[in-house]
Amino acid sequence: MLVLNENHPARAELQKQTAVIDPETAQHADIRALRLGVINLMPVMNETENDILRCISHSVLQIEPIWIRSATREQSGRHTSLEHVENFYQTLEEATREQGLDGLIVTGAPIERLDFEDVDYWDELRQVMDYAQRHVYCTMYLCWAAMAAAFHFYRIPKVMYPEKLTGLFRLKNVFEDDNPFTRGMNPEVAICQSRYTGLDYEAMKREIEQKHLLPLFDSDDRAEVLGGEPLGVTVFASSDLRAVYNLGHLEYHAATIDQEVQRDRQKALHYPVENYYLEAKARSGIPPMTWRADRSLFFSNFLNVAYEQMNMNPNKKHRSFVLLPSYEEAHAKYRAEDAGLPTRPPVPVNAF
């Protein structure tokens, strides 16, 4: 069940798939809704909203999505109307002023070719990730955000590919039912990839061997862009299950890759599209959406992990997020609160 403002553009379509109620009605329910923050860093924000809403709409839990924008990134109105942002989005400070967040999703952003330090909202995002590490039950990082979080928490550098990695790749479920994030999912899952970068293999392997990270989906599929090397681990979680990272896009619908390819063609960008089109040479024919059920399960499992943590920690003290003017100040403030916390914790610390 979704809690959604009655004037949200996606509400009418979602009502065909699931129960949708307004926030005022949800306040009178016997069980409070799980507050799911969604930090939307994509330029076409309403497209990403629709993707996320489809993913969470089949959960048996009552979910209230809270749309969050960057406080330090200026909205241009070029891809998403300023009116839409004004009506439906808050900063994280505003979203947590009176209530905390139970879960958090941080989307990707089309800025992979920039160094992290060159992103204009990087200092803010680092503070957001530190806040989520301490005060959100479970966080999901998607695509570029997954790379950013892996670098921030584990110092795993990203690696630039010679061309864009695009297509549909098979991934093996490492744990199957032995991990709450992959419970009930198929032994093999198809996941769309659309990115210019990946994570350094040796650094990732080190964190997995030291059991700081748990691989969830690994792929033997070989990619032309990677020089015929296998794709490797693209979905993983922190060992305490407080964060899950997906370099790919389970949230995509069947035509999303094609839409991206057509936009890139207009920009004169050319790259191989692998394992996707039914007619590969002609780049035509949208594939059947074989990942639909696994998509719903993956997001439902994520929400269940957050819900279980919420019930295990009923007396968690709510804390508002406060954006500090520089990362150095945030760094000192957060680290002082946890005695003995190392500068770069290899594993997120449970502060509940």
Catalytic site positions: 143, 249, 251
Three-state secondary structure call for residue 105:
strand
Q: Determine contact, residues 22/4, Cβ cutoff 8 Å.
A: yes
Other beta carbons within 10 Å of 26: 18
CA distances from residue 3 to 10, 19, 63, 132, 343 in whole angstroms, order as listed: 12, 9, 6, 22, 39
Give CA 23 to chain center in angstroms: 24
Structure tokens at 150: 């892996």
Round to whole Å and give the CA distance between 352 and 349: 9
Hey, which bits of 41-102 come out as E strands? 63-68
By CB atoms closer than 10 A (0-12, 13-18, 19+), residue 121 is middle
Question: How would you label 244-275 residue by residue, b for 16+ Cβ within 10 Å and e otherwise?
Answer: bbbbbbbbbbbebbbebbeebeeeeeebebbb
**Residue 142: burial class (beta carbons within 10 Å; 0-12, 13-18, 19+):** buried
Instruction: In whole angstroms, give the CA distance from residue 321 to residue 91.
Output: 10
What's the maximum distance between 2 C-alpha atoms anywhere in the chain?
60
Residue 139, SS3 per DSSP:
strand
